[in-house]
Chain A
Amino acid sequence: MKQESIADNLKKLAIFLALTAVILILMRYLFPEQSALSLEVMRDYSMEVALIFPPVLLLMGLADVWIPEDMVKQYLGKTSGWRGILLSLFLGTLPTGPLFIAFPIASEMLKKGARIANVVVFLGAWASLKMPQIGVEIQFLGLEFAFYRAGLTFIAVICIALITDKMLKRSEKI
């Protein structure tokens, strides 16, 4: 079963990569000017993803076997309240890398019984309250801007999470 799913996924990945190569070659002939710039962007992004994605997957795999569902429920579940929100916020500010790397983690949190609000807080913090990034922000935009933006985003992330949570609960009831 497992072996087969690895082979299947490898095949899919190979087909996808071949398709990507075709698109990139087409780009090169049709839009040579844009092609160079787009390759540069892709290289930057690939570097970032290549550095962050494997350890994130590894940690997810380890979390999957070692962290029992009860523990996720206790700290991040429906009854975790403000402590759950703050814990999710804290977890989201630690990493680096683009938001789409956080989606699989968020999905895993949901599956293990984390509260929707906490998952959305985690995503929001990952998106725009990452500590390493705020350092760079101060450098380019000044302390005052970074301070106000981070402070307001902090409040906004919690509001977004609580409203999303409410909306989904309401739609569940109907």
Chain B
Amino acid sequence: MLVALIINIIAIGTLVYSFTQSSRKSIQALKTALVKGLKLAPWMVGIIVLIGIALSFVPPEVIERYLGGEMTIYQVVAAALIGTVSMIPNLITLPLAGSLIDSGASYTTIAAFLTTLTMVGFVTMPLEIKLLGKKITFWRNLLAFFFAIIIAVIIGVLM
């Protein structure tokens, strides 16, 4: 919340400063922001609705059941896959990971889950493709998935 507040203050401060320099350019900037915002708004709404519906059918308790037990390589891959297809709000992710550890999940599994959860986005792929192109989206997500497993395995060795 604090960071959000700081970002807002920075944005407004920059805008005020911009107006002292050139009001013509500042109005142009506001227009650009408005048009972009309106263009992206349906995507944002769509993604949020999709995430909400998806998570309600696969609630945290179900994830806990799958990732909580004894660690196997299948479980690590499963964790990475679950992280890929799900999008969980930041507010829930880390407490969930903490409770998974408490219920017996290994750090390896949690590392795989957290890394793909944050870096690989299945639900958001259409937006990523629209804005960054198919190739970047494909390689970025594919590589992030593999590196998530590598990170998880190394953490398993270290801890």
Contact = CB atoms under 8 A, between A and B. Distances in A.
Interface of A: 2, 5-6, 9-10, 12-13, 16-17, 20, 23-24, 27, 31, 34-35, 37-42, 44-46, 48-49, 51-62, 64-66, 95-100, 103-104, 106-107, 110, 116, 119-120, 123-124, 127-128, 132-133, 136-137, 139-141, 144-145, 148-149, 152-153, 156, 159-160, 163-164, 167-168, 171
A27 B159 contact: no
B42 to A, nearest CB: 4
A133 B90 contact: yes
B94 interface: yes
A141 B94 contact: yes
Which 9 pairs of residues, A with B, have the shortest CB-CB distance?
A61-B33, A55-B11, A38-B56, A140-B98, A42-B52, A9-B38, A61-B29, A34-B56, A107-B131
A123 B1 CA distance: 21
Main secondary structure of the interface of A (DSSP, over half): helix
Given A13-B38, A124-B144, A65 B52 contact: no
Contacts, number: 240
A34 B134 CA distance: 33
Contacts of A141: 94, 97-98, 101, 107, 110
Given A42-B49, A95-B3, A99-B118, 8 more contacts: A6-B38, A16-B46, A24-B49, A58-B15, A140-B97, A145-B111, A152-B150, A168-B139
B99 to A, nearest CB: 9
A38 to B, nearest CB: 4
Main secondary structure of the interface of B (DSSP, over half): helix
Interface string B87-107: 101111011011001000001
A27 B54 CA distance: 12
A130 to B, nearest CB: 8
Contacts of A9: 35, 38-39, 41
Contacts of B119: 99, 124, 127-128
Contacts of A149: 111, 114-115, 151, 155
